[in-house]
């Protein structure tokens, strides 16, 4: 078998949820959109439900419908994209809570599913989803008369504690929701860590559950072990891979491993990235190919059976820095070819 093994530690995810729930003053939900950031929404949500999570958030209604099968009838499942055309049956049958983003969605929801639970999403400055202050003013009374179950907004800069946008959005959210007797939600992972003022009634952490920044205390969640297919010796002056980017400066031992950018190992991370044989870092040699990566194992002194790309030695944020991206993209890029192994189920 030459596929790499992605090990997902469900106990670590549960521990991260617990730690964030302890830091949070309100209820703590779990964001499991995009297949729980690539780690498997069904397995992750089932484990988090067992850890005590009662509220979940997904991006689209289809994700919510799949999640309902997993978390049972009692859990609350909120949909960030709100009520889109064609969603009514799924929302009704699966008991989803659409987070209504606009007057159009409000009308669609009230007409298709009068009396069915919904939430409201307000825009406090991110300009991505939700009603802006003027729109909110216009529909506020009508919307409130339908008894929304949650009012939320989303922070644009919660991972940058000193950014003035945080306080600005907090002020806007307070102004737009003052005096309402409806549960409120503003904080993602970064928002929980900012200050209790941002917590309100319900927080919505995602990345922190999966071991990513800005939750620097998070337990590592993923390990990626890639089999070595072949090893070879190079004379000084010989090159490796496309474009001959790596040229041996000394007698060199190269191990070729069975994964590449086709598995989400972003090509851009190549020049700065190490593969680990136990504790020993071995540099990538030359360009990352679609299915293969050459690794310089000269200093290791033996031929390894596997090399590790992700683990406690080198986490998602480290790889993200190497590739000029964020941990979220490293996780959601994790390839479909990996054998996924869960521990702590």
Ligand X SMILES: *Cc1c(COP(=O)(O)O)cnc(C)c1O
Range in contact with ligand X (rule: CB under 6 A) among 47-55, 185-193, 250-258, 290-298: 185-193
State yes or no: is 198 an active-site residue.
Answer: no
Range in contact with ligand X (rule: CB under 6 A) among 9-17, 203-211, 260-268, 300-308: 203-211
Q: Based on CB atoms, which residue is closest to ligand X, 154 or 308?
A: 154
255 bridge partner residues: 231, 295
Residue 160: CB minimum distance to ligand X, A: 12
Residues 125-154 that bind ligand X (CB under 6 A): 154
Site string for ligand X, 62-81 (x = CB under 6 A): ------------------x-
Nearest residue to ligand X by CB is 206
Residue of 16, 81, 188, 298 interacting with ligand X (CB under 6 A): 188
Q: Does 189 bind ligand X (CB under 6 A)?
A: yes
DSSP sequence for 65-112: HHHHHHH-SSSEEEETT-S-TT-HHHHHHTTEEEEE-SHHHHHHHHHH
State yes or no: is 33 an active-site residue.
Answer: yes
Residue of 30, 32, 207, 275 interacting with ligand X (CB under 6 A): 207
Q: Is 325 helix (H, G, I), strand (E, B) or coil?
A: coil
Q: Is 256 helix (H, G, I), strand (E, B) or coil?
A: strand
Q: In whole angstroms, what is the distance from residue 29 CA to residue 7 CA?
A: 24
Shortest CA distance to 53 belongs to which of 99, 20, 95, 92?
A: 20
Q: Does 330 bind ligand X (CB under 6 A)?
A: no
Range in contact with ligand X (rule: CB under 6 A) among 63-71, 166-174, 182-190, 233-241: 182-190
Instruction: Determine how many CB atoms are found less than 10 A away from the CB of residue 262.
Output: 14
DSSP strand pairing (280-283 vs 274-277)? antiparallel
Q: Which of 210, 242, 276, 342 is catalytic?
A: 242
Residues 156, 129: contact at Cβ < 8 Å?
Answer: no
Shortest CA distance to 159 belongs to which of 103, 208, 119, 112?
A: 208
List interacting residues with ligand X (CB under 6 A).
31, 33, 80, 154, 188-190, 204-208
Active site residue ranges = 33, 242
């Amino acid at each position: 078998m030459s596929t790499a093994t992605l090990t997902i530690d469900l106990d670590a995810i549960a521990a991260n949820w617990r730690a964030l729930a302890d830091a949070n003053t309100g209820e703590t939900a779990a964001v499991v959109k995009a297949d729980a950031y690539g780690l498997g929404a069904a397995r992750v949500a089932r484990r988090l439900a067992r850890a005590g999570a009662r509220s979940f958030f997904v991006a689209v209604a289809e994700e919510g419908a799949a999640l309902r099968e997993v978390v049972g009838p009692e859990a609350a499942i909120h949909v960030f994209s709100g009520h889109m055309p064609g969603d009514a049956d799924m929302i009704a049958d699966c008991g989803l809570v659409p987070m209504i983003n606009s007057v159009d969605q409000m009308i669609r929801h009230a007409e298709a599913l009068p009396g069915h639970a919904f939430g409201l999403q307000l825009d406090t400055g991110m300009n991505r989803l939700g009603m802006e202050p003027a729109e909110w003013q216009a529909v506020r009374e009508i919307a409130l008369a339908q008894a929304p179950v949650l009012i939320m907004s989303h922070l644009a800069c919660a991972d940058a504690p000193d950014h003035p946008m945080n306080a600005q959005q907090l002020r806007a959210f307070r102004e737009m929701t003052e005096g309402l007797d409806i549960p409120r939600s503003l904080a993602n992972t970064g928002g929980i860590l900012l200050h209790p003022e941002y917590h309100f009634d319900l927080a919505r952490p995602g990345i922190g559950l999966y071991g990513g920044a800005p939750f620097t205390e998070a337990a590592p969640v993923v390990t990626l072990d890639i089999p070595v297919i072949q090893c070879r010796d190079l004379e000084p002056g010989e090159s490796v891979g496309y474009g001959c980017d790596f040229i041996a400066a000394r007698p060199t031992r190269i191990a070729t491993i069975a994964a590449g950018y086709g598995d989400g190992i972003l090509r851009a991370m190549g020049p700065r990235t190490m593969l680990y044989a136990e504790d020993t870092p071995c540099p990538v040699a030359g360009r990352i190919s679609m299915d293969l990566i050459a690794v310089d194992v000269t200093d290791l002194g033996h031929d390894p059976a596997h090399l590790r790309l992700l683990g406690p030695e080198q986490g998602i944020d480290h790889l993200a820095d190497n590739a000029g991206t964020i941990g979220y993209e490293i996780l959601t890029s994790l390839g479909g070819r990996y054998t996924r192994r869960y521990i702590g189920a």
